[in-house]
Amino acid sequence: MRILALEDDAEDWMLLQAYLRNMKLPEFPHFDLERAASLAEAERSITAAAFDVLIADYHLPDGDSLQFLAEQLRTHPHLYVLLVSSDEQLVTRPEVGELLRSRRVSFCVKSDLDLDRLRSELRASALFSGREPGSASLGQLKILQIDDDPAEREVLEWHCEKIRDVKLEVDWVSNSRDALQKISEETYDLIIVDYRLGGELGTDVIDLLNAHGVHSNIVLCSGTSLFLSSKEALRCLGHQRASFISKSRLDEARLRQALRI
């Protein structure tokens, strides 16, 4: 796998190198990592060689990377992009939200980018490069879906069935009351919360889950394209109460990322 890191910070570059030295993925026995400290350097690198993944800092010395990344996605159909930034609220900007609507783009706050998160991102990239995830069994994981539309459960279960190296069990509830009952009875690896739940907002449900000491990984879902620029998104995602997946992008790759597998 060829990876180009658009990163001008020497410490972040050294940390990324350390993560990849300790990375073990069956589908990627070898990582070829290069660095570009500016957009101009990145342009020269991509002209000279083909890359599978771009790990791109949002802020670079010669400008922000959004336009550059959008152009690379248009011209390289198998490219996967991980956008990183120290700004937790970057994801709520409309121009960033537009880029994130691509299934081949993910976002991570720099402080959250550790070995496990990087591993899940690289596994997700395999789906777009034509490689299949490893076949080793990962056991059983449990997901709680909080959504008032029963059809969404069928969609989620369909995606779960495509992940063959781990057994995923899905429980479904339509409101916060039933969700609290479920989490009092079971331990979940992932909780997926719809943004609009009848008379409730998913952001309020996430606040409630946190108030009850829930330690599961939580993902907020929305089918509303303007959600990422809303005040609710800023409040919920900016304080790292949950990550976000657009319903149109909820697939095997995003589930693997959310479950860290």
The Cα 261–Cα 257 span in angstroms is 7
pLDDT in tens, 186-242: 889 899 999 888 888 888 898 899 888 888 888 888 876 556 556 666 666 655 567
Is the alpha carbon torsion for 248, 250, 252, 253 positive or negative? positive
Q: List Cα–Cα distances, 181 to 198, 213, 218, in angstroms.
A: 18, 14, 17
Query: Do the Cβ atoms of 35 and 64 come closer than 8 Å?
Result: no
Q: Give pLDDT tens digits for 138-170.
A: 568 899 999 998 888 888 988 888 887 788 899
Q: What residue type is 113 in one-letter code?
A: L
Average pLDDT, the chain: 83
pLDDT (average), residues 103-127: 81
- The number of angstroms, rounded, from the C-alpha of 247 to the middle of its chain's C-alpha atoms is 13
If you ran DSSP here, which 8-state letter would residue 25 be given?
Answer: B
Cα–Cα distances (Å) from 36 to 45, 50, 61, in that order, read: 7, 14, 11
Q: Do strands 2-6 and 53-57 pair parallel, antiparallel, or not at all (unpaired)?
A: parallel
The DSSP bridge pattern shows strands 63-64 and 59-60 to be antiparallel
| pTM over cut 0.75 | no
Q: How confident is the model at residue 13 (pLDDT cuts 50, 70, 90)?
A: very high
Binned at pLDDT 50, 70 and 90, residue 136 comes out as: very low
Angle at 144 (CA atoms; ends 192, 83), nearest 5 degrees: 30
Q: Where are the alpha helices (DSSP H) in the chain?
A: 10-21, 39-48, 66-75, 94-100, 115-129, 150-161, 176-185, 202-211, 231-237, 252-259
CA-to-CA distance for 237 and 24, rounded, in angstroms? 30
123 CB burial (10 A radius; 0-12, 13-18, 19+) = buried
Q: Is the CB of residue 50 less than 8 Å from the CB of residue 200?
A: no
In whole angstroms, what is the distance from residue 58 CA to residue 107 CA?
A: 10
Q: What is the distance of C-alpha 182 from the center of its chain?
A: 25
- Interatomic CA distance for residues 145 and 250, integer angstroms: 13
CA distance 173 to 132: 32
**Radius of gyration, alpha carbons of the chain:** 18
pLDDT at residue 128 greater than cutoff 70: no
For the stretch 19-57, pLDDT in tens is: 888 887 766 778 899 999 999 999 999 999 899 999 999
Paired tokens of 59:
């802020």
